[in-house]
Amino acid sequence: MNTKAFALRHIGPREDDQNLMLKTIGVDSLDQLIYETIPDDIRLKNGLNLDEPMTEHEYLLHIHDLSKLNKARKTYIGLGYHPTVMPAVIQRNILENPGWYTAYTPYQAEIAQGRLEALLNFQTMVIDLTGMEIANASLLDESTAAAEAMSLLFAVRERSQKKAGVNKFFVSENTLPQTLSLLQTRSAPIGVELVVGNEDTFDFSKEFFGALLQYPGKDGQITDIKTFINKANNADIKVAVAADILSLVKLEAPGKFGADVVVGTTQRFGIPMGYGGPHAAFFATKEAYKRDLPGRIIGVTKDANGNRALRMALQTREQHIKRDRATSNICTAQVLLAVMASMYAVYHGPKGLKFIANKIHNKAATLANALTKLGYEQVNTSYFDTLQIKTKAKKIKKIASEKKVNLHYPDKKTVTISINETTAIRDINYLISIFAEAAQKETIEISSVEEAHNIEQSVQRNTEFLTDTVFNTYHSETELMRYIKSLERKDLSLNHSMIPLGSCTMKLNAAAELLPLSWFKWGNIHPFAPLKQAKGYLTVLKELEDQLTEITGFAATSLQPNSGAQGEFAGLMVIKAYHESRGDHHRNICLIPSSAHGTNPASAVMAGMKVVVTKSTDEGNIDVDDLREKAELHKDNLSCIMVTYPSTHGVYESAIKEITKIIHDNGGQVYMDGANMNAQVGLTNPGNIGADVCHLNLHKTFAIPHGGGGPGVGPICVAKQLVPFLPGNPIVKTGGDKAITAISAAPFGSALVCLISYGYIKMLGAEGLTQATKIAILNANYIKHRLQGSFDTLYSGERGRAAHEMIVDCRAFKEHGIEVSDIAKRLMDYGFHAPTVSFPVAGTLMIEPTESESKAEMDRFCDAMISIKKEIDQASKDDTNNVLKNAPHTLEMITNDEWHFPYTRQEAAFPLEYVKDNKFWPSVRRVDDAYGDRNLICSCTPIEAYGEA
């Protein structure tokens, strides 16, 4: 046995344990189990065709070699991405710390107060800098945030009686090209007509419901948003502003001028460019629109003792509740990146940010003066960091390229230069020398930076920001390190215990997969840098595409979508483009089984489709007769079906091939939601099942950590007929020959974290990947078996087996007055994060152990569940003072001099022996959700400010 094989590190149960587990569940071998689990007719005949696996050491050498093919040149391209300085204390304590990156989305608030606080800081930072009333805790990138702004303004237009039926949206021509492309993608399907034009000559006609401005514009000139918003308000046109967050330190907050929405990216707050992402976008708006806000809002509430506690507010599970009436399909966002950006603001504070912004502005002005002296025409009259030079671009480009400098050349007569946090005086001199050479003049040497005020008086910032204590306390490294640690200790992550979240696949995020993310030559590549400087990336991304194409059994892959839900939208838009290419513009019916994840119907509506829900049988399968009936009924207009496989009920439906055939026979395409790919890799695949497109969640199956709710990557893999339509990018050519417009801002989405999945596949190889799938299925069936007698499993395959996850029924416990949420909270006392609660069936838990969990850990979890079942048996409807209803128990409760509970402290906090070795203390008691929604507070406000409303 090669004890260095990565598969041995990734897969939890040792061989002896595997044998014990097989015996326990009553099969002779792993292959026997797989035979009993996966229907024969969909099993792959041959293994995957992938490279031989590398050990971790070999992989790190390999990825280091590839990094050398990237040229991290001095880059002044701008366009929404800038070199930045990630404080080392944030890199080491957050980015490289599994306590932060392996956490799940903070649905279980009592064991997530740390990241909730960091996200509340993020929202406060955004609210302060934008001058708006509320903000969410991150969206995927600036361009998708701008599209969400457009959708929000379109949705609220109906409430303005004057605007009913009005569908034109104005977009400034000075908007970033990738944002424009994304607005095109997102506007047409929902019936918005985009009008791109010059904001100075815009006529504020009543036919417009909204407008989007870039602040400062893409060429660097600061837009006069004050005048524009004024006029727009008079015409009842709502205005969204896409703002550069660092510039807002010096520019007046758009909220001051009456903007309705402000969006942007926080990449400049210490996040590496990473060839396009991931970075956290922000979205801020008025309180009046709080119910239309996409993504997640963190709110303040109180716990059972009346202490301050944080939680996700309002539409937390929005897609699952509202489905095709949801305001957006955003589920995974960019939590880890939002946490890091918020810490950048905590570390630097308002004074530090002003120092950084002033330095950038002054350096830009110093450069402008020198270039003017050399005879160049710098045309921006009011700017923050970007100069616009009118000259022969070709000449400058030639010299700059020779001198290894990246500038931006929007047209033949224009060069733009964006100064950033890393720009030194030496760099300014180097830039001057390039222009001097082009002008054939003696260069001008500068030795200091002049104080500058090249920002129009009317938009100079006067309002304070980041005045809260948290932004004015942790400015030494010791203090910040301890603050980060104090938050981390409140959160239960994979480095404490198993997180058995069904449908979310919380598996190992191996250190070797993650190490390269910190490396300079992966972090410091601009997404619009010339392709020859990004050869390392292009090699990795191409190979990852090929690997995923092979694994899914399709013809091609696009890595652009940066979440699963974005993948769904992308896949549907590709299907739509395919139908339209054949003249089938009318095909707009999307069949979705009732058990589908809520993002499915939400994405279908975004793609302009009409959702028709099909029934499930009592066994949890798709009701094939109902499906056939609906497919035939709508055959003239059928666009597609969205189907999850194995089903969200954790079953490999044996009718799947029949289902895909019914859809094809009626002219539709088959979209497979690939969130459950962990149950397929190496054993079956979507292509084999008869699907035409699927998205994958690289942050589930392919080892990208959840990061507390992002980043994610949701690539789509497609069959041959759909390849020409894969999404493009307006600056870097990507996608098919007839590419649809952009789905994400960057050409390859969140390229940096794609390294993780690439490493995962490289190190496991065909055999390791297949073994991982088999063990994921073994682990699930082992838990199913161990819980038998305590919990009933809803749904199983034809031979009584679970897939890689299972649903346990908790509805009968209502007799004892116990809800499924009580079990979730009680698990915290045992040191576990709850499984998925009430999805896809209300009143149930969905458990998914993944292949990475060892037998010992699963045994602890099962012991906890069985012990909780005994507690449930003792509970009574008539008395809610019990160990379940009072859960979770905090250290403060346990050590309190008073104890009013009918069970012992020991039973409350140390219910099983193993808990004593590794106790996790929830930092607050059960949070009050209703109170928080009634009194929405989503920024750091002094405690006195939120008394009973």
By CB under 6 A, which span of 20-28, 182-190, 237-245, 563-571 interacts with ligand PLP? 563-571
- CB of 640 vs ligand PLP, minimal distance in Å: 15
- CB of 572 vs ligand PLP, minimal distance in Å: 13
- CB of 532 vs ligand PLP, minimal distance in Å: 32
**Which residue, chain included where needed, has tokens 């492309």?**
181
- CB of 710 vs ligand PLP, minimal distance in Å: 8
Q: Kindly list the distances between the CA atom of residue 344 and the CA atoms of 367, 479, 520, in Å, as whole numbers in the listed order.
A: 27, 13, 19
**Which position among 136, 382, 503, 852 is part of the footprint of ligand PLP (CB under 6 A)?**
503
- CB of 331 vs ligand PLP, minimal distance in Å: 3
436 counts as binding ligand PLP under rule CB under 6 A: no
- DSSP 3-state helix, strand, coil percentages of the chain (rounded to 5)? 45, 15, 45
Q: State the Cα–Cα distance between residues 195 and 947, nearest whole angstrom.
A: 47
- CB of 568 vs ligand PLP, minimal distance in Å: 7
Q: State the Cα–Cα distance between residues 887 and 711, nearest whole angstrom.
A: 31
By CB under 6 A, which span of 173-181, 320-328, 526-534, 559-567 interacts with ligand PLP? 559-567
Q: Check if the beta carbon of residue 432 is closer than 8 Å to that of residue 372.
A: no
Q: Measured from the CB atom, is 252 or 673 closer to ligand PLP? A: 673
Q: Measured from the CB atom, is 244 or 848 closer to ligand PLP? A: 848
Q: State the Cα–Cα distance between residues 908 and 644, nearest whole angstrom.
A: 40
Q: Check if the beta carbon of residue 183 is closer than 8 Å to that of residue 603.
A: no
- CB of 343 vs ligand PLP, minimal distance in Å: 24
- Of 122, 65, 61, 62, nearest to 94 by C-alpha is 122
136 counts as binding ligand PLP under rule CB under 6 A: no
712 counts as binding ligand PLP under rule CB under 6 A: yes
Q: Which helix (H) or strand (E) holds 299?
A: strand 297-302
- CB of 596 vs ligand PLP, minimal distance in Å: 7
Q: Nearest 5 degrees, angle CA 860-CA 865-CA 868?
A: 125
563 counts as binding ligand PLP under rule CB under 6 A: yes
From the CA atom positions of the chain, what is the Rg in Å? 28
Q: Which pair of structure tokens corresponds to residue 671? A: 């979209």
Q: Measured from the CB atom, is 553 or 711 closer to ligand PLP? A: 711
221 three-state secondary structure = strand
**Which position among 78, 255, 714, 736 is part of the footprint of ligand PLP (CB under 6 A)?**
714
Q: Measured from the CB atom, is 153 or 834 closer to ligand PLP? A: 834
Q: Kindly list the distances between the CA atom of residue 245 and the CA atoms of 57, 151, 269, 340, 812, in Å, as whole numbers in the listed order.
A: 40, 22, 8, 15, 51
675 counts as binding ligand PLP under rule CB under 6 A: yes
Q: Which pair of structure tokens corresponds to residue 449? A: 């930076």
Q: State the Cα–Cα distance between residues 204 and 200, nearest whole angstrom.
A: 10
Q: Which pair of structure tokens corresponds to residue 115? A: 């990241």
Q: State the Cα–Cα distance between residues 894 and 909, nearest whole angstrom.
A: 7
647 counts as binding ligand PLP under rule CB under 6 A: no
| DSSP string for 543-589 | HHHHHHHHHHT-SEEE----SHHHHHHHHHHHHHHHHHHTT-TT--E
- Of 199, 152, 146, 198, nearest to 176 by C-alpha is 146
Q: Measured from the CB atom, is 331 or 466 closer to ligand PLP? A: 331
- CB of 564 vs ligand PLP, minimal distance in Å: 2
List strand residue ranges (DSSP E) for 338-411, in order: 377-378, 386-390, 405-406, 408-411
- CB of 695 vs ligand PLP, minimal distance in Å: 8
Tell me how many residues contact ligand PLP (CB under 6 A): 15
500 counts as binding ligand PLP under rule CB under 6 A: no
Which parts of 386-415 interact with ligand PLP (CB under 6 A)? none
564 counts as binding ligand PLP under rule CB under 6 A: yes
840 counts as binding ligand PLP under rule CB under 6 A: no
Sequence-separated (6 or more) residues with CB below 8 Å from residue 19: none
* Phi, psi of 636, rounded to the nearest 5 degrees: -75, -25
By CB under 6 A, which span of 488-496, 562-570, 762-770, 841-849 interacts with ligand PLP? 562-570
By CB under 6 A, which span of 192-200, 290-298, 561-569, 717-725 interacts with ligand PLP? 561-569
Q: Check if the beta carbon of residue 918 is closer than 8 Å to that of residue 831.
A: yes
630 three-state secondary structure = helix
560 counts as binding ligand PLP under rule CB under 6 A: no
**Which position among 211, 243, 304, 565 is part of the footprint of ligand PLP (CB under 6 A)?**
565
Q: Measured from the CB atom, is 157 or 597 closer to ligand PLP? A: 597
- CB of 503 vs ligand PLP, minimal distance in Å: 4
Q: Which pair of structure tokens corresponds to residue 363? A: 């350096």
- CB of 152 vs ligand PLP, minimal distance in Å: 19
- CB of 806 vs ligand PLP, minimal distance in Å: 15
Q: Check if the beta carbon of residue 386 is closer than 8 Å to that of residue 365.
A: no
Q: Measured from the CB atom, is 697 or 939 closer to ligand PLP? A: 697
Task: Give first-to-last CA distance, the chain, whole Å.
Answer: 66
**Which position among 331, 417, 605, 656 is part of the footprint of ligand PLP (CB under 6 A)?**
331
387 has which bridge partners? 417
- CB of 810 vs ligand PLP, minimal distance in Å: 20
Q: Nearest 5 degrees, angle CA 34-CA 682-CA 699?
A: 110
Q: Kindly list the distances between the CA atom of residue 239 and the CA atoms of 128, 146, 383, in Å, as whole numbers in the listed order.
A: 19, 11, 21
673 counts as binding ligand PLP under rule CB under 6 A: yes
187 counts as binding ligand PLP under rule CB under 6 A: no
**Which position among 250, 579, 597, 630 is part of the footprint of ligand PLP (CB under 6 A)?**
597
Q: State the Cα–Cα distance between residues 634 and 590, nearest whole angstrom.
A: 10
39 three-state secondary structure = coil
**Which position among 113, 285, 388, 599 is part of the footprint of ligand PLP (CB under 6 A)?**
599
Q: Check if the beta carbon of residue 465 is closer than 8 Å to that of residue 476.
A: no
595 three-state secondary structure = coil
Cis preceding linkage at 98, omega within 30: no
> By beta-carbon distance, which residue lies closest to ligand PLP?
564
332 counts as binding ligand PLP under rule CB under 6 A: yes
- CB of 674 vs ligand PLP, minimal distance in Å: 8
Q: Measured from the CB atom, is 357 or 506 closer to ligand PLP? A: 506
Q: Measured from the CB atom, is 325 or 582 closer to ligand PLP? A: 325
Amino acid symbol at 329: N
By CB under 6 A, which span of 37-45, 49-57, 558-566, 763-771 interacts with ligand PLP? 558-566
Q: State the Cα–Cα distance between residues 864 and 54, nearest whole angstrom.
A: 37
Q: State the Cα–Cα distance between residues 171 and 588, nearest whole angstrom.
A: 27
697 counts as binding ligand PLP under rule CB under 6 A: yes
- CB of 836 vs ligand PLP, minimal distance in Å: 9
130 counts as binding ligand PLP under rule CB under 6 A: no
- CB of 840 vs ligand PLP, minimal distance in Å: 9
- Of 518, 510, 563, 513, nearest to 540 by C-alpha is 513
Q: Measured from the CB atom, is 274 or 714 closer to ligand PLP? A: 714
By CB under 6 A, which span of 358-366, 491-499, 560-568, 617-625 interacts with ligand PLP? 560-568
Q: Check if the beta carbon of residue 833 is closer than 8 Å to that of residue 111.
A: yes
- CB of 839 vs ligand PLP, minimal distance in Å: 9
Q: What are the residues binding ligand PLP (CB under 6 A)?
A: 331-332, 503, 563-565, 597, 599, 644, 648, 673, 675, 697, 712, 714
